[in-house]
Amino acid sequence: MNFELVGYNWAHPWMAILFLLPLVFYFLKKKNILSGNAPFLSLSQVPHTASVKSLKTVLLRSLPLLELLGYCLLVLALLRPQKILDSANLKTEGIDIVLSLDLSSSMLAKDFNPNRLEAAKSAAYDFVKGRVGDRIGLVVFSGEAFAQCPLTNDLQVVLSMIKQLSPGFLEDGTAIGMGLATAVNKLKNSKAKSKVIILMTDGVNNAGYIPPDLALQMAKEFGIKVYCIGIGSNGYAETPIARDGDQYQYAMAPVIIDEALLREIADQTNGRYFRASDQSLLEEIYHTIDKLEKTTFDQKSYRNFSEKFHFFLLGAIFCFLLVLILKRAYLKSVI
């Protein structure tokens, strides 16, 4: 948390509470709650021993003020003042995007290299990597849906989660409605000018308690644009048909994607439907979406600072050293 005042950026403003400490000690001493010596020398502790007001006498009488000045300078140093050397209004592009990816077992079909899921992860990874300034969220679905990552500017977190995606931890099936509704839920409270869902699936809705048409109405209500991607080759593909422990059994199966549903979702939300029948097309689709979804907002950014805390620190050290020297001189004069 930074705070700007009198042309300086104060990096640690919470340290300002330390300015109250001398007042607390003064109050406790005044009420006779605090016994013994207070941390700051009282004026009454320096007797009027000299008939002539020499410089030494004046300095001795100033000890409490020097101590207080040193303390205040030390607190100012802890506040970490920084001189703002360069500030600029930058135009930054950024929107809120949720990726909703199908993790059903059919995504392990081998019509992509090495399979659909790995190809989808690779394309999504490259897409997210290039969205600096955006907030990205991640939803996965099969027979049910799960919000894997909330909207965040920390793209490294999203990239790490994309790399770890694998089928099997959710009930199998293809709950397109659930995948879309869960993504909508992540975006419904967004204040971004543009809210986008990229929904990718390789099948037909056959699971989940939220039907796709209801999820579509939810997306429309919250002004969310949906880009739909149907992933899978044309004809037949080597597809998992059974599972034995961690091993899948494969057989040739027809590629069936509910393109009519995906096209309807995209059309009614002002998005677009894409069919990715191979890896190059999938990458091209993400590049197209990347170009389509660009918005700008003003963001003030302070780029260059000059640290100034050391001046206050040196001043505090000087005050405390002067106090120490004067105290020793005073003690020698009275012994």
- Select from 110, 100, 236, 248 the least CA-distant residue to 162: 100
CATH number at residue 133: 3.40.50.410
Over residues 103-128, the pLDDT tens digits come to: 999 999 999 999 999 999 999 999 99
pLDDT at 325: 84
Joined tokens for residue 279: 């890896």
Together in a domain, 76 and 142? no
Together in a domain, 258 and 317? no
pLDDT at 244: 83
Together in a domain, 109 and 56? no
In the chain, how many domains are there?
2
Together in a domain, 131 and 245? yes
Least confident range from 149-163, 228-242, 254-268, 300-314: namely 300-314
Alpha carbon distance 67, 195 (integer Å) = 57
Together in a domain, 61 and 135? no
Together in a domain, 129 and 261? yes
- Select from 230, 229, 249, 225 the least CA-distant residue to 239: 249
Together in a domain, 19 and 43? yes
Query: Which contacts of 247-252 are long-range, i.e. CB under 8 A and separated by 24 or more positions?
Result: 248/105, 248/108, 250/110
pLDDT at 164: 95
Over residues 220-272, the pLDDT tens digits come to: 999 999 999 999 999 999 999 988 877 899 999 999 999 999 999 999 999 99
Together in a domain, 183 and 319? no
Over residues 34-76, the pLDDT tens digits come to: 555 545 545 445 455 444 456 666 666 778 888 889 899 999 9
Query: Which contacts of 281-287 are long-range, i.e. CB under 8 A and separated by 24 or more positions?
Result: 282/112, 282/119, 282/120, 282/123, 282/229, 282/231, 283/123, 283/126, 285/123, 285/229, 286/123, 286/124, 286/126, 286/127
Together in a domain, 143 and 255? yes
Average pLDDT over every residue of 152-172: 93
Together in a domain, 147 and 244? yes
- Select from 193, 180, 270, 263 the least CA-distant residue to 225: 270
- Number of alpha carbons in the 13 Å side-chain half-sphere of residue 185: 18
Together in a domain, 42 and 161? no
More confident residue, 53 or 318: 318
**Confidence bin at 1 (pLDDT 50/70/90):** low
φ, ψ at 276 (rounded to 5°): -105, 100
Cβ atoms of residues 91 and 301 within 8 Å? no
- Indicate whether 273 pLDDT > 60: yes
Together in a domain, 173 and 269? yes
Cβ atoms of residues 202 and 116 within 8 Å? yes
Q: What is the DSSP letter of 305?
A: E
Domain assignment of residue 8, given as a range: 3-86+302-334
pLDDT at 53: 52
